[in-house]
Structure 1
Amino acid sequence: MPTDLPTDEWLRLADAVARLARDWLDDLDRRPIAPRTRGAEAIAALGGEAPEVGLGHAVVDRLREVLPRARAQNGRFLGYVLGSGEPAGAVADLLASVLNQNVTAWRSSPAAVTVERTVVSWLAAALGCGGFGGSLTGGGSAANLMGLAMAREGRAPAREAGRPEGVVYASEEVHMSIPKAVALLGIGTRNLRRIAVDGAQRMRVDALERALAEDVAAGRRPIAVVATAGTVATGAIDPLDAIADVAARYGAWLHVDGAYGALAALAAPDRLAGLRRADSLSVDAHKWLYQAVDCGCLLFRDAAAARRAFSDSGEYVKTGSDDAVEGFAFFDESVELSRRFRALRLWTSIQFHGLGAFRAAIARDLAHARALAARVAAEPRLELLAAGDLSAVCFRHRWPADADARNAALLRAVNARGRVYLSNAVVGGVFALRACFVNHRTTDADVEEVVQEVLAAGEGVG
């Protein structure tokens, strides 16, 4: 068996890799968040031709070369909407790879399917959507695509002859995955109606109703309304209940993109009570449950709608059982056939820490966002641009001229210093620095350091 390993050799290799991981975690706070590497240097260190003769256990030395060229997500990594990598779940990932289960149907892996269906039910209950079904996905983009595929098949089936033109409605702040999904599904981006937002970047319900009425009068068919529970720029939450009322009046499917914000319902359920009105809902555990990527999820109200969209099974994949448990197949409710055992890390992480620990961590993130917004507002050299419903804070340095260009240079300077990592946004037509708190490692001191680093870097921006 030329590519197999005796178990004692495997354990030796696993132990060496675990020590690498331990060193990484021990040094995480001292590492520069942005790695000190350039493209050519990284290729020289990590690229090259594949070896004809294997390195054996010396591969650990090659793995060691990866660490200084990786981004260190310590408590001051506040860019994008990316979870911080909870370590207990990471340990379970090793076991998932060793077990190598293909999570297609119960017959293929009873344990993996049971674990995933359990995790899905936990997520649905935590969001106030008890009874919803679903499956884990690579992320919110895949979940949004699947949710809109269900909407299309439910409201304007692809096989329907002579069907009227179908329209999808979403706010001007919608995530880029929605126009991608509309294009991939053949609906066409010209049939994606961008609805105006209010001053807090939330979808305007009056504008949505007007758009729906115009399209129905013109003979077009509303397919879906996409409400956002946490816009990527500012964390705004669309008025979910009011949007659900309008969608229901016009017979449109309601999909909620909750990839960023839905899981805030664990700590702030009142802000997201309307989630239960959704027909489908995307959620990312690799954001606000701090899991390693990839760990997204699509939840849906009606499993029959999922099967209409995705079940087209040939003899090769028939399960051979009518039992509700043993006859279950994810491929009947998902776009994927081969599927990784993603659920094991989340199942392990929740059982190790308990949901209460995640509620507390999310509450800390929300508090840290409020604290940063207050600190920025109190600093004369800084301007607060947006502090939305969740944990994103957008601000910038005050300059009398060329403010956009100078703040863009400031962002590069802050990130190059390596102590704090921020991303960017455009708010009200101006360039903003953006801190997003979905990080279980962040402390009160880290929040203060954001302001200190921005002011210090600003001294060097002309």
Structure 2
Amino acid sequence: MSALDVTPAQFRRLADRISSLAEQWLADLDSRRIAPDTTGAVTEALFAEGLPEEGLKDAALEALKPVMDGSRAGNARFLAYVFGSGEPVGVLGDYVASVINQNVTAWRSAPTIVSLERSVVRSLARAVGCDGFTGSFAGGGSAANLMGLAMAREALAPANEEGSPSGVVYASSEVHMSIPKAMALLGLGRKNLRLIPVDSEWRMRPELLERAIAEDRAAGRRPLAVVATAGTVNTGAVDPLPEVSRIARAQGLWMHVDGAYGALAAMALPDAFEGMSLADSLSMDAHKWLYQPVDCGVLLFRDPGAARKAFSFSGDYVRTMNADAVEGFAFFDESMELSRRARALKVWLSVRYHGLAAFREAIRRDVENARRMESLIRAAPELELLAPARLSAVCFRYAGRVPDSERDAFNARLMARINARGRAYLSNATLHGRFVLRACFVNHRTSPEDVDTVMAEVLAAAGELL
């Protein structure tokens, strides 16, 4: 027996203790401070001794409680960032994924999980109106966006061509930070990312996109791809996808949709995402608006051949010798990853348990909660709404009794004060150069009463500062 082995009975004892900690965490979630009462010095001190030379056995688990106590509590009033709420059945799916420990890289390595992932991908594509698309799970929207642009580059300007990599990519000025990062990683360069201005609703302006492409062609540059956003991180804006697609097709460009935040809301709000199925590739995050534990990104694409052209560079040691369409399938031929966790298992188990209808209803409720907050902001004379809540992001700031020149600084202090009080947690955005508070509803736990509590917290914190 290896020194690393534990008996089934020992495993059960350890698992029971951890299950008890998890049960207590969930039981206390609503009453916990969202921002833990800790400091950097305290958290560093927790781990200052490093890793032990001799094992602590069962006593090793005693350190889990301070780890959990110093963690952010994603309860019903956590509305910062675009971060899902960790649906508990999905957590159990992650547990099973770790126990069976499959490398979901090819069917021969993980037969049932590879077939499961392919089925889940097809089902999610169908659920968001992209029936017929295929794809794979990834670490998150950043990885999915990187792969989508890699496919665009290899389809239209392969890196092994003389003078490549090259090509201009177009996106709105509200594009997510992962896109310029992908440009750098692919060797295209951030200088070749052309940012298109947005309209009054924070959506890309198609006529300016068309003009930018024409200007680049006239200057001898090579237009490559358009990134349309289905749910901008600041305001939740959805670019005019049909018009963007028309321009991309007419110009022979790849169309990638960054739907990391919003795309899964098409399950419940299909009209808001008209034209999304016209994309060549699409990213979305199940750990956002499908409420799954991180990490759980997805890349969908129309043409598997384009994925294989970008990613199929296999050495003899992994080459698949089986000609069967299923048994010879390998995700490493269609993805940048070789080692791959069974990310789809939690989604499969979670949706089997609750059903797609339950997730559609949860998404609708998030949108209704955002509308409720928007209405309360409009009704409060001391608050100012900065952007319409098109999906579930609400941007606002405190304006009462604060001179305009001081509002940015005041609202930055206000956000810190709200979060320090521990009952609500908001993030921020910058709109038209102004600092604003931002609440984003991608939380299956949030109720209308929680929205009212958050707004009361905003006003109470402002009162303290004033």
TM-score by length of 1: 0.99
Q: Secondary structure at the match of 1:255?
A: strand
Kindly tell me the number of residue pairs found equivalent between the two proteins.
Answer: 462
The more displaced of 308-317 and 287-296 is: 308-317
Equivalent in 400, 408, 414 of residue 410 of structure 1: 414
User: Offset at 1:267?
Assistant: 0.8
Deviations 1:90-131 (A, max 9, x none): 011111101010011000010110111111011100111111
- The answer on whether the counterparts of 2:287 and 2:294 sit within 8 Å (CA) in structure 1 is yes
1:245 equivalent in structure 2: 246
How far the C-alpha of 1:164 sits from its partner, in A, is 8.8
Give the whole-Å Cα distance in 2 for the aligned partners of 1:456 and 1:232.
27
Residue 400 of structure 1 corresponds to 403
2:135 counterpart residue number: 134
Shift of residue 388 of structure 1? 3.3
Deviations 1:400-433 (A, max 9, x none): 2401000000000000000000000011221100
Distance across 1 between alignment mates of 2:389 and 2:336? 33
What's the offset of the Cα at 1:221? 1.6
In structure 1, the residue matched to 2:259 is: 258
Give 1:48's aligned residue. 49
Q: Per the alignment, in what secondary structure is the counterpart of residue 323 of structure 1?
A: coil
Q: Is the 8 A contact 2:172 2:197 kept in 1?
A: yes
What is the 5 A alignment of 1:288-307? Answer: 288-307=289-308
Task: Check if 1:459 corresponds to 2:460.
Answer: no
Match of 1:34 in 2: 35
Whether the 8 Å contact between 2:165 and 2:187 is mirrored in structure 1 is: no
Question: 2:158 touches 2:165 (CA, 8 Å); kept in 1?
Answer: no
Structure 1 residues 40 and 221 mapped into 2: Cα distance closer, same or farther (>3 Å)? same
For residues 207-246 of structure 1, what are the structure 2 equivalents within 5 Å? 207-246=208-247
Shift of the alpha carbon at 1:450?
A: 1.4
Checking the alignment, whether the CA contact within 8 Å between 1:164 and 1:219 is kept in structure 2 is no
Counterpart of 2:332 in structure 1 is 331
TM superposition shift of 1:219: 2.1
Q: Shift in Å at residue 52 of structure 1? A: 1.6
1:434 aligns with 2:438: yes
Per mean C-alpha deviation after superposition, the further-off stretch among 122-131 and 160-169 is 160-169
Letter in 1 for 2:403: P
> Distance between the aligned counterparts of 2:48 and 2:379, measured in 1?
48
Amino acid at match of 1:98: V
> For 1:23-80, what per-residue CA distance to the aligned partner results, in whole angstroms no more than 9, with x for missing partners?
0000000000000110111122244221122111112211111111000000000000
Matches within 5 A, 1:35-434: 35-162=36-163, 165-398=166-399, 399-401=402-404, 402-434=406-438
AA aligned to 2:317 is Y
The letter of the residue matching 1:453 is: E
Separation of aligned partners in 2, 1:230 and 1:375: 23
Unaligned runs of 5+ in 2: none
In 1: Cα distance, 2:407 partner to 2:350 partner: 44
Alpha-carbon distance in structure 2 between the residues aligned to 1:48 and 1:260: 39
Question: What CA distance in whole angstroms lies between the structure 2 residues aligned with 1:49 and 1:447?
Answer: 42
* CA deviation vs aligned residue, 1:346-380 (integer Å, no higher than 9, x gap): 11001000000000000000000000000000001
- Is residue 107–residue 327 contact of structure 2 (8 Å, CA) maintained in 1? yes
The separation in 2 between residues aligned to 1:389 and 1:309, in whole angstroms, is 35
| Structure 1 outlier segments of 4+, above 2 Å | 162-165
Query: 1:315 Cα deviation (Å)?
Result: 1.0
Matched AA of 1:296: G
- The answer to whether the Cα contact below 8 Å between 2:122 and 2:131 also exists between their aligned partners in 1 is yes
Asked if structure 2 preserves the Cα contact closer than 8 Å seen for 1:183 and 1:189, the reply is yes
Report if the CA contact (8 A) 2:371-2:389 is conserved.
no
Identity of aligned residues (%): 61
Structure 1: which 5+ runs fail to align?
none
Shift of 1:387: 2.6
SS in 2 for 1:316: coil
Determine the C-alpha separation between the residues in 2 that align with 1:111 and 1:302: 24
User: How far is 1:214 from its partner?
Assistant: 1.1
Contact 2:201 2:388 in 1 (8 A): no
Structure 1 residue 165: Cα displacement: 4.3
Cα displacement (A) at 1:460 = 1.9
Q: Are the aligned partners of 1:164 and 1:220 in contact in 2 as well (CA < 8 Å)?
A: no
C-alpha displacement of 1:314 = 1.7
Whole-angstrom CA distance in 2 between matches of 1:377 and 1:315:
63
Distance 1:366 1:191, change over 3 A: same
Q: Bigger CA drift: 34-43 or 19-28? A: 34-43
Once the two structures are TM-superposed, the CA of residue 162 in structure 1 deviates from its matched residue by 3.7
SS in 2 for 1:94: helix
Q: CA deviation at 1:144?
A: 0.2
Q: Does the 8 A contact of 2:159 with 2:165 survive in 1? A: no
Q: Distance in 2 between matches of 1:318 and 1:225?
A: 34
- Per-residue deviation, 1:390: 0.6
Asked whether the equivalents of residues 225 and 255 of structure 1 are also in contact (C-alpha less than 8 Å), the reply is: yes
Report if aligned partners of 2:183, 2:193 keep a CA contact under 8 Å in 1.
yes
> In the aligned structure 1, how far is the partner of 2:390 from the partner of 2:249?
25
Q: Is the 8 A contact 1:200 1:388 kept in 2?
A: no
